Amino acid sequence: MLEVKNLTKVYPDGTRALNNVSFTVEDGEFLVIIGLSGSGKSTLLRCINRLIDPTEGTIILDGRDVTAADSRELRFIRRKIGMIFQHFNLVDRSSVLTNVLSGRLGYLNPWRSVLHKFPGSTRKEAIQALRKVGIEDQAHKRADELSGGQRQRVGIARALMQDPGMILADEPVASLDPVLAHTILGYLEKLNRESSISVLCSLHYLDLVQRYATKVIGLKDGEIVYRGTRDDIRSMTDQQFKEIYGEEAERVSAGTLSHQDNISGEVAP
């Protein structure tokens, strides 16, 4: 379980990106964070694994105080938190397999990690992780030879190598077309449901929020302005969504949602 209490982040230039944000995420939840550009979504996600140090407040993950963790503890905590990025953050010139294996670096003993020497069993696991996202046949290609959707699947496989209890996904489908967006979110949902991995994800299409979220928080100028359960979200109107999200709020095309029915079948291992 994740408990975020009174979290505030003020950047050195004085920008108050988060102001007194509190919420909880139960194990196995799929929390979606919505909000306009600049509302603080990335800052919030990055505070949770301390890629950004909060100014005030506490973050407790499974009883451990992330905010008070020293560097040793933080390494341990971060091992269990996978991160997925909008622009994938792959090493383009390395192979897909090497990128996936890098998810395990936090578990290697120091000399192995310096040399990036992975045991054979770990390489097998990496292939299995790629199989879970349907691209084991791409393992030996260079990462920059893959399409955007395939690259994000590599990002998921890399996160899986951490054996995470939680995945933080910062706009994971913003660079993808709507059909691919459903494919990627379908994989995240499957991991969420079948492996009980909690997912915290920022998204900006209402359809996607309604389809995947079990809980939603809405941010505006760094403050929580909306909290919704799965039922609340499903009955949310475009107008309500626009009040939080602004006039930029939009749906992906109606046809895409029905496509999801096919995708669900496709993601089964």
Ligand X SMILES: Nc1ncnc2c1ncn2[C@@H]1O[C@H](COP(=O)(O)OP(=O)(O)OP(=O)(O)O)[C@@H](O)[C@H]1O
- Binding-site size for ligand X (CB under 6 A) equals 12
DSSP letter, residue 217: E
Nearer residue to ligand X within complex by CB, 185 or 244: 244
Smallest distance from ligand X to CB 201, Å: 12
Smallest distance from ligand X to CB 67, Å: 18
**H-only helix segments in 103-177:** 110-115, 120-132, 148-160
Smallest distance from ligand X to CB 44, Å: 7
Site string for ligand X, 130-169 (x = CB under 6 A): ----------------------------------------
Which residue in the block uniquely carries the two structure tokens 């930029």? Answer: 248
Instruction: Provide the 10 A C-beta neighbour count for residue 58.
Output: 15
Nearer residue to ligand X within complex by CB, 10 or 257: 10
| Residue from 2, 4, 7, 17 binding ligand X (CB under 6 A) | 17
Q: How far apart are CA 41 and CA 219, in angstroms?
A: 7
Smallest distance from ligand X to CB 40, Å: 4
Positive or negative, the Cα torsion across 12, 18, 21, 27?
negative
Nearer residue to ligand X within complex by CB, 88 or 118: 88
| SS3 of residue 45 by DSSP | helix
Nearer residue to ligand X within complex by CB, 13 or 70: 13
Nearer residue to ligand X within complex by CB, 34 or 139: 34
| Residue from 13, 53, 231, 248 binding ligand X (CB under 6 A) | 13
Nearer residue to ligand X within complex by CB, 198 or 202: 202
Task: For residue 262, give the H/E element and its range.
Answer: helix 254-266
Among 7, 4, 29, 23, which residue's Cα sits nearest to residue 197?
29
Among 223, 228, 243, which residue's Cα sits nearest to residue 22?
223
Site string for ligand X, 20-59 (x = CB under 6 A): ---------------x-xxxxxxx----------------
Nearest 5°: the CA angle 165, 170, 171 is 130
The dihedral over CA atoms of 131, 133, 136, 138, expressed in degrees to the nearest 10, equals 180
Q: By the criterion CB under 6 A, which residues form the site for ligand X?
A: 11, 13, 15, 17, 35, 37-43
